[in-house]
């Protein structure tokens, strides 16, 4: 249970994730994704989100309402530059909090021009297991400096290709992947840095479109299959599924996973401040 909130944030806050060194079976046309371009939102011409967007997810572990997770987009100033500031928060509630309390906060400051992360903050308390980590991305020096405040240690990582943090990755790809170029059965390898374990590689397979029944009505979604490590947490390498709205918002609608013990599901429970119309299918 200890890593479930982190895992949900990984797949909510990345939803599609980010890296530039894609595999040969890439599902996205990389020639149209240029992180060095000065032009904002090079693929779409318009951002998929705006300051004020707020998403709330309800997590279920079997029959239990295990916790809630939220993501909120704000405006901020960092080093005299106007940036996006996204705050993610996850917390166990109800019966689940009786036997395992989780209170996690993630923050990311990233460019409004090309989505590159400048600063990432991870503060977690999971059943007494705590972390207080801050990562600063220095593109002039081509390195990311991780400051482990709890253990008073610092560690440098080389910035090569395009590395996103846990939160910025989701927003980066919301603005940069092209739905028309997604190929069913194909996958993309992505790269992130969010902890002292180093750069994290992630593989995501596109499975096509599917209509989900939600509390808001029927929603058409893109379905993805993150490839995870089977064993202690997940039953199989393809035990986790992710659905993203097939409208201009591209927000996570549902995440489900078969675990080694039981199953977990996260559903979009509430939203506010969407930039585009949330499309509901009317029969």
User: Within 13 A of 208's CA, how many CA atoms are on the CB side?
Assistant: 4
How high is the pLDDT of residue 170?
Answer: 86
Distance, in Å, from the CA atom of 208 to the CA atom of 246, rounded to the nearest integer, reads 11
Q: Is residue 278 part of a domain?
A: no
Angle at 139 between CA 134 and CA 144, to 5 degrees: 30
Q: Is residue 81 part of a domain?
A: yes
Residues of the chain below pLDDT 70: 1-45, 62-66, 95-99, 189, 227-239, 259-262
DSSP reduced 3-state for 175: helix
Q: Is residue 189 part of a domain?
A: yes
Q: What is the DSSP string of 95-138?
A: THHHH--EEEEEEEEEETTT--EEEEEEEEEETTEEEEEEEEEE
Q: Are 3 and 229 in contact (CB under 8 A)?
A: no
Q: Is residue 283 part of a domain?
A: no
**What is the pTM for the complete model shown?**
0.81
pLDDT digits (tens, 9 = 90+) for 86-126: 999 988 877 666 667 788 899 999 999 999 999 999 998 87
The partner residues of 137 in beta bridges, in order of sequence, read: 144
Domain carrying residue 109: 4-272
Q: Is residue 277 part of a domain?
A: no
Query: How many domains are there within the chain?
Result: 1
């Amino acid at each position: 249970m200890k890593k479930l909130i982190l895992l949900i944030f990984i797949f909510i806050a990345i939803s599609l994730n980010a890296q530039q060194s894609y595999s040969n079976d890439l599902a996205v046309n990389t020639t149209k994704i240029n992180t060095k371009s000065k032009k904002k939102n090079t693929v779409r011409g318009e951002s998929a989100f705006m300051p004020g967007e707020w998403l709330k997810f309800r997590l279920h572990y079997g029959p239990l309402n295990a916790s809630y997770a939220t993501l909120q987009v704000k405006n901020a100033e960092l080093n005299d530059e106007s940036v996006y500031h996204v705050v993610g928060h996850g917390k166990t509630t109800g019966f689940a909090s009786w036997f395992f309390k989780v209170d996690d906060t993630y923050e990311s400051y990233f460019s409004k021009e090309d989505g590159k992360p400048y600063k990432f903050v991870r503060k977690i308390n999971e059943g007494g297991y705590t972390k207080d980590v801050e990562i600063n991305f220095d593109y002039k020096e081509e390195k990311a400096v991780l400051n482990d405040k709890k253990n008073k240690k610092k560690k440098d990582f080389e910035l090569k290709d395009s590395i996103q943090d846990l939160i910025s990755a989701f927003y980066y790809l919301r603005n940069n992947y092209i739905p028309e170029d997604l190929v069913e059965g194909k996958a993309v390898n992505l790269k992130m840095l969010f902890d002292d374990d180093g750069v994290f590689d992630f593989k995501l397979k596109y499975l096509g479109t599917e209509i989900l029944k939600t509390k808001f009505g029927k929603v058409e979604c893109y379905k993805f299959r993150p490839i995870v490590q089977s064993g202690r947490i997940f039953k199989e390498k393809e035990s986790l599924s992710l659905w993203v709205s097939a409208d201009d918002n591209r927000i996570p609608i549902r995440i489900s996973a078969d675990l080694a013990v039981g199953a977990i599901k996260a559903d979009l429970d509430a939203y506010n401040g969407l930039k585009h119309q949330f499309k509901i299918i009317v029969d």
